[in-house]
Structure 1
Amino acid sequence: MILAAAAVALASCGGNAPRRSAQQETGAFKPDIHNAETSLDYRGTYRGVLPAADCPGIETTLTLKPDGTYSLHEEYLERNARFDAEGAYTLHGNLLTLEGSDTTWYKVEENRLRRLTTDRKEVEGPLAEHYVLRKTAE
Protein backbone atom coordinates (compact mmCIF):
# COMPACT_ATOMS: atom_id res chain seq x y z
CA MET A 1 0.00 0.00 0.00
CA ILE A 2 2.83 2.39 0.92
CA LEU A 3 4.64 1.46 -2.27
CA ALA A 4 1.55 2.26 -4.38
CA ALA A 5 1.13 5.66 -2.66
CA ALA A 6 4.78 6.51 -3.29
CA ALA A 7 4.43 5.57 -6.97
CA VAL A 8 1.34 7.83 -7.33
CA ALA A 9 3.15 10.72 -5.60
CA LEU A 10 6.18 10.38 -7.90
CA ALA A 11 4.00 10.20 -11.00
CA SER A 12 2.08 13.34 -10.05
CA CYS A 13 5.32 15.28 -9.45
CA GLY A 14 6.69 14.25 -12.83
CA GLY A 15 3.73 15.88 -14.57
CA ASN A 16 4.82 19.33 -13.38
CA ALA A 17 8.22 19.16 -15.03
CA PRO A 18 8.53 21.46 -18.04
CA ARG A 19 8.19 19.57 -21.28
CA ARG A 20 10.99 19.79 -23.82
CA SER A 21 10.12 20.79 -27.34
CA ALA A 22 11.22 18.85 -30.40
CA GLN A 23 13.82 21.58 -31.01
CA GLN A 24 15.23 21.09 -27.52
CA GLU A 25 15.31 17.31 -27.97
CA THR A 26 17.26 17.56 -31.25
CA GLY A 27 19.37 20.55 -30.23
CA ALA A 28 18.15 22.53 -33.28
CA PHE A 29 17.61 25.93 -31.65
CA LYS A 30 16.74 28.90 -33.82
CA PRO A 31 18.74 32.01 -32.96
CA ASP A 32 16.86 35.07 -31.72
CA ILE A 33 17.24 37.51 -34.60
CA HIS A 34 15.39 40.36 -32.92
CA ASN A 35 17.65 43.39 -32.75
CA ALA A 36 17.49 47.08 -33.62
CA GLU A 37 18.36 46.43 -37.24
CA THR A 38 15.44 44.06 -37.82
CA SER A 39 12.88 45.06 -35.19
CA LEU A 40 13.01 48.78 -34.49
CA ASP A 41 12.37 51.80 -36.63
CA TYR A 42 15.60 53.40 -35.46
CA ARG A 43 16.04 55.98 -38.23
CA GLY A 44 14.88 59.51 -37.43
CA THR A 45 15.72 62.43 -35.16
CA TYR A 46 16.71 62.12 -31.50
CA ARG A 47 17.08 64.92 -28.95
CA GLY A 48 18.26 65.34 -25.41
CA VAL A 49 20.65 67.13 -23.08
CA LEU A 50 23.78 65.11 -22.40
CA PRO A 51 25.96 65.81 -19.33
CA ALA A 52 29.07 67.98 -19.70
CA ALA A 53 32.03 68.55 -17.41
CA ASP A 54 32.19 72.35 -17.73
CA CYS A 55 28.60 73.49 -18.31
CA PRO A 56 25.03 72.44 -17.40
CA GLY A 57 24.80 70.15 -20.44
CA ILE A 58 25.00 69.72 -24.18
CA GLU A 59 21.75 70.07 -26.07
CA THR A 60 22.09 67.36 -28.70
CA THR A 61 20.16 66.65 -31.90
CA LEU A 62 21.10 63.54 -33.86
CA THR A 63 19.42 62.59 -37.12
CA LEU A 64 19.91 59.11 -38.59
CA LYS A 65 19.11 59.18 -42.31
CA PRO A 66 17.94 56.20 -44.42
CA ASP A 67 21.06 56.41 -46.63
CA GLY A 68 23.34 55.44 -43.73
CA THR A 69 24.49 58.98 -42.90
CA TYR A 70 23.87 61.15 -39.87
CA SER A 71 23.88 64.81 -38.89
CA LEU A 72 24.74 65.87 -35.35
CA HIS A 73 24.17 69.28 -33.78
CA GLU A 74 25.54 70.00 -30.29
CA GLU A 75 24.97 73.22 -28.39
CA TYR A 76 26.66 73.80 -25.04
CA LEU A 77 24.28 75.35 -22.50
CA GLU A 78 25.32 78.68 -20.96
CA ARG A 79 28.25 78.90 -23.38
CA ASN A 80 28.56 80.31 -26.83
CA ALA A 81 29.65 77.02 -28.39
CA ARG A 82 27.94 75.04 -31.15
CA PHE A 83 29.24 72.14 -33.19
CA ASP A 84 27.90 70.34 -36.22
CA ALA A 85 29.10 67.06 -37.64
CA GLU A 86 28.09 64.72 -40.42
CA GLY A 87 29.24 61.28 -41.39
CA ALA A 88 28.28 57.67 -41.84
CA TYR A 89 26.82 55.36 -39.25
CA THR A 90 26.73 51.59 -38.92
CA LEU A 91 24.43 49.37 -36.93
CA HIS A 92 25.41 45.89 -35.75
CA GLY A 93 22.78 44.33 -33.54
CA ASN A 94 21.85 47.16 -31.16
CA LEU A 95 25.22 48.94 -31.38
CA LEU A 96 25.09 52.17 -33.37
CA THR A 97 28.49 53.58 -34.38
CA LEU A 98 28.88 57.16 -35.59
CA GLU A 99 31.98 57.45 -37.74
CA GLY A 100 33.71 60.80 -37.87
CA SER A 101 36.59 62.73 -36.35
CA ASP A 102 35.54 61.22 -33.00
CA THR A 103 33.85 57.83 -33.19
CA THR A 104 30.93 57.57 -30.78
CA TRP A 105 28.65 54.69 -29.85
CA TYR A 106 25.01 54.43 -28.86
CA LYS A 107 22.84 51.54 -27.80
CA VAL A 108 19.60 51.51 -29.78
CA GLU A 109 16.53 51.04 -27.59
CA GLU A 110 12.81 51.50 -28.24
CA ASN A 111 12.51 55.17 -29.34
CA ARG A 112 15.79 56.01 -27.54
CA LEU A 113 19.52 56.07 -28.07
CA ARG A 114 21.73 55.53 -25.04
CA ARG A 115 25.20 57.11 -25.32
CA LEU A 116 27.94 54.63 -24.46
CA THR A 117 31.39 55.16 -23.02
CA THR A 118 34.57 54.98 -25.11
CA ASP A 119 34.81 51.29 -24.25
CA ARG A 120 31.22 50.79 -25.51
CA LYS A 121 29.62 50.23 -22.11
CA GLU A 122 26.54 51.85 -20.60
CA VAL A 123 27.10 54.65 -18.12
CA GLU A 124 26.12 53.44 -14.66
CA GLY A 125 25.08 55.25 -11.51
CA PRO A 126 22.81 58.20 -10.78
CA LEU A 127 23.58 59.98 -14.08
CA ALA A 128 22.86 56.97 -16.31
CA GLU A 129 19.45 58.22 -17.49
CA HIS A 130 20.99 61.56 -18.51
CA TYR A 131 22.88 59.83 -21.35
CA VAL A 132 19.71 59.15 -23.35
CA LEU A 133 18.44 60.84 -26.51
CA ARG A 134 14.74 60.41 -27.22
CA LYS A 135 13.20 60.03 -30.65
CA THR A 136 11.12 62.99 -31.80
CA ALA A 137 7.91 62.92 -33.81
CA GLU A 138 9.56 64.63 -36.78
Structure 2
Amino acid sequence: MHTMKNTSLLLSGCLIALCISCQNNNGKTEQQEHEDSISVHDEHTSQTSLDWAGTYQDTIPCADCPGILTTIKLYENGNYTYNAEYLEQNTTLQDSGQFMWHENGSVVHLKGKNVDTKYKVGENTLYQTDTEGKVIEGEMAEKYTLHKVF
Protein backbone atom coordinates (compact mmCIF):
# COMPACT_ATOMS: atom_id res chain seq x y z
CA MET A 1 0.00 0.00 0.00
CA HIS A 2 2.84 2.33 0.83
CA THR A 3 4.39 1.68 -2.60
CA MET A 4 1.09 2.30 -4.33
CA LYS A 5 0.75 5.60 -2.45
CA ASN A 6 4.30 6.63 -3.45
CA THR A 7 3.61 5.64 -7.04
CA SER A 8 0.41 7.70 -7.07
CA LEU A 9 2.24 10.68 -5.58
CA LEU A 10 5.06 10.26 -8.08
CA LEU A 11 2.63 10.02 -10.99
CA SER A 12 0.68 13.01 -9.70
CA GLY A 13 3.91 14.99 -9.38
CA CYS A 14 4.99 14.03 -12.90
CA LEU A 15 1.56 14.90 -14.25
CA ILE A 16 1.65 18.34 -12.57
CA ALA A 17 5.19 18.95 -13.83
CA LEU A 18 4.14 17.91 -17.33
CA CYS A 19 1.11 20.25 -17.25
CA ILE A 20 3.26 23.17 -16.05
CA SER A 21 5.83 22.38 -18.72
CA CYS A 22 3.13 22.31 -21.41
CA GLN A 23 1.72 25.62 -20.24
CA ASN A 24 5.16 27.23 -20.39
CA ASN A 25 5.78 25.84 -23.87
CA ASN A 26 2.38 27.05 -25.05
CA GLY A 27 3.16 30.50 -23.73
CA LYS A 28 6.43 30.53 -25.62
CA THR A 29 4.77 29.27 -28.76
CA GLU A 30 2.10 31.96 -28.59
CA GLN A 31 4.74 34.60 -27.95
CA GLN A 32 6.84 33.28 -30.83
CA GLU A 33 3.78 33.25 -33.08
CA HIS A 34 3.02 36.82 -32.00
CA GLU A 35 6.60 37.90 -32.72
CA ASP A 36 6.48 36.16 -36.11
CA SER A 37 3.22 37.90 -36.99
CA ILE A 38 4.60 41.35 -36.23
CA SER A 39 5.81 42.82 -39.49
CA VAL A 40 8.93 44.90 -39.44
CA HIS A 41 8.25 48.40 -40.71
CA ASP A 42 11.10 50.03 -42.56
CA GLU A 43 11.14 53.64 -41.47
CA HIS A 44 13.12 54.66 -44.57
CA THR A 45 10.76 56.41 -46.97
CA SER A 46 11.24 59.12 -49.54
CA GLN A 47 9.76 61.54 -47.04
CA THR A 48 12.25 60.69 -44.29
CA SER A 49 15.33 59.60 -46.24
CA LEU A 50 15.64 61.86 -49.27
CA ASP A 51 16.42 65.53 -49.70
CA TRP A 52 13.11 66.03 -51.53
CA ALA A 53 12.56 69.77 -50.97
CA GLY A 54 13.52 71.84 -54.02
CA THR A 55 12.62 72.74 -57.59
CA TYR A 56 11.89 70.07 -60.21
CA GLN A 57 11.54 70.83 -63.89
CA ASP A 58 11.23 69.17 -67.28
CA THR A 59 9.14 69.22 -70.44
CA ILE A 60 6.46 66.54 -70.47
CA PRO A 61 4.48 65.34 -73.51
CA CYS A 62 1.50 67.29 -74.80
CA ALA A 63 -1.16 66.00 -77.21
CA ASP A 64 -1.51 69.23 -79.19
CA CYS A 65 1.73 71.13 -78.59
CA PRO A 66 5.50 70.48 -78.56
CA GLY A 67 5.45 69.91 -74.78
CA ILE A 68 4.54 71.28 -71.38
CA LEU A 69 7.40 72.92 -69.46
CA THR A 70 6.48 71.88 -65.93
CA THR A 71 8.05 73.35 -62.81
CA ILE A 72 7.20 72.12 -59.32
CA LYS A 73 8.66 73.54 -56.13
CA LEU A 74 8.28 71.46 -52.98
CA TYR A 75 8.94 73.30 -49.73
CA GLU A 76 9.93 71.70 -46.43
CA ASN A 77 6.87 73.22 -44.74
CA GLY A 78 4.57 71.11 -46.98
CA ASN A 79 3.69 73.82 -49.49
CA TYR A 80 4.11 73.58 -53.26
CA THR A 81 3.95 75.77 -56.34
CA TYR A 82 3.09 74.35 -59.74
CA ASN A 83 3.65 75.99 -63.11
CA ALA A 84 2.89 74.35 -66.47
CA GLU A 85 3.66 76.32 -69.63
CA TYR A 86 2.15 74.87 -72.80
CA LEU A 87 4.82 75.52 -75.40
CA GLU A 88 3.76 77.46 -78.51
CA GLN A 89 0.23 77.90 -77.12
CA ASN A 90 0.59 80.94 -74.88
CA THR A 91 -1.15 78.99 -72.09
CA THR A 92 0.08 78.64 -68.52
CA LEU A 93 -1.47 76.70 -65.66
CA GLN A 94 -0.43 77.77 -62.17
CA ASP A 95 -1.36 76.58 -58.72
CA SER A 96 -0.05 76.47 -55.18
CA GLY A 97 -1.08 75.03 -51.88
CA GLN A 98 -0.18 72.29 -49.46
CA PHE A 99 0.80 68.86 -50.70
CA MET A 100 0.18 65.68 -48.76
CA TRP A 101 2.27 62.56 -48.39
CA HIS A 102 0.53 59.27 -48.91
CA GLU A 103 0.79 56.77 -46.07
CA ASN A 104 3.65 54.95 -47.77
CA GLY A 105 5.76 58.12 -47.55
CA SER A 106 6.94 58.02 -51.15
CA VAL A 107 4.18 59.76 -53.12
CA VAL A 108 3.24 63.43 -52.88
CA HIS A 109 -0.23 64.57 -53.87
CA LEU A 110 -0.56 68.12 -55.18
CA LYS A 111 -4.19 69.16 -54.99
CA GLY A 112 -5.31 72.72 -55.50
CA LYS A 113 -7.78 74.75 -57.55
CA ASN A 114 -6.19 73.86 -60.90
CA VAL A 115 -4.03 70.83 -60.10
CA ASP A 116 -4.76 67.34 -58.83
CA THR A 117 -1.72 65.19 -59.55
CA LYS A 118 0.60 62.74 -57.80
CA TYR A 119 4.34 62.16 -58.06
CA LYS A 120 6.55 59.42 -56.64
CA VAL A 121 9.56 61.05 -55.03
CA GLY A 122 12.91 59.56 -55.99
CA GLU A 123 16.51 60.69 -55.60
CA ASN A 124 16.45 64.18 -57.21
CA THR A 125 13.48 63.07 -59.32
CA LEU A 126 9.68 63.25 -59.39
CA TYR A 127 7.96 60.45 -61.31
CA GLN A 128 4.44 61.31 -62.43
CA THR A 129 1.89 58.70 -61.38
CA ASP A 130 -1.60 57.71 -62.35
CA THR A 131 -4.59 58.53 -60.14
CA GLU A 132 -3.85 55.53 -57.91
CA GLY A 133 -0.28 56.66 -57.23
CA LYS A 134 1.38 54.06 -59.50
CA VAL A 135 4.35 55.28 -61.53
CA ILE A 136 3.73 55.58 -65.26
CA GLU A 137 5.50 52.71 -67.01
CA GLY A 138 6.44 51.78 -70.55
CA GLU A 139 8.31 53.51 -73.34
CA MET A 140 7.01 56.96 -72.38
CA ALA A 141 7.79 56.67 -68.64
CA GLU A 142 11.01 58.74 -68.81
CA LYS A 143 9.12 61.55 -70.53
CA TYR A 144 6.90 61.96 -67.45
CA THR A 145 9.81 62.49 -65.08
CA LEU A 146 10.81 65.82 -63.57
CA HIS A 147 14.41 66.34 -62.45
CA LYS A 148 15.59 68.44 -59.55
CA VAL A 149 17.25 71.61 -60.82
CA PHE A 150 18.01 73.11 -57.37
- Per the normalisation by structure 2, the TM-score is 0.69
Aligned residue among 114, 125, 133 for 2:146? 133
From the CA coordinates, give the structure whose radius of gyration is larger. 2
CA distance in 1, matches of 2:125, 2:106: 11
Aligned residue among 86, 102, 107 for 1:95? 107
Q: Give the superposition deviation at 1:60.
A: 0.6
Letter in 1 for 2:138: G
Count residues in correspondence: 113
Aligned-pair identity in percent equals 42
Q: Give the superposition deviation at 1:134.
A: 0.4
Aligned to 2:72: 62
Q: Secondary structure at the match of 1:118?
A: coil
Q: Note the residue ranges of structure 1 that are not aligned, 5 or more in a row.
A: 1-25
Aligned residue among 50, 71, 75 for 1:40? 50
Aligned to 2:130: 117
CA distance in 2, matches of 1:78, 1:54: 10
Q: Note the residue ranges of structure 2 that are not aligned, 5 or more in a row.
A: 1-34
Comparing both structures, which one devotes a greater share of its residues to helix? 2
Letter in 1 for 2:106: N
- Per the normalisation by structure 1, the TM-score is 0.75
CA distance in 2, matches of 1:73, 1:36: 23
Q: Give the superposition deviation at 1:50.
A: 1.1
RMSD of equivalent CA atoms? 1.7
Q: Secondary structure at the match of 2:48?
A: helix
Deviation track 1:69-121 (CA, whole Å, cap 9, x = no partner) reads: 11111111121111211111011310100021332100001110001112322
Q: Does 1:86 align with 2:99?
A: no
- Structure 1 stretches of 4+ with a deviation exceeding 4 A read none
Q: Give the superposition deviation at 1:29.
A: 5.6
Q: Does 1:53 align with 2:53?
A: no
Q: Secondary structure at the match of 1:32?
A: coil
Residues 82/91 of structure 1: CA separation in 2 closer, same or farther (3 Å cut) = same
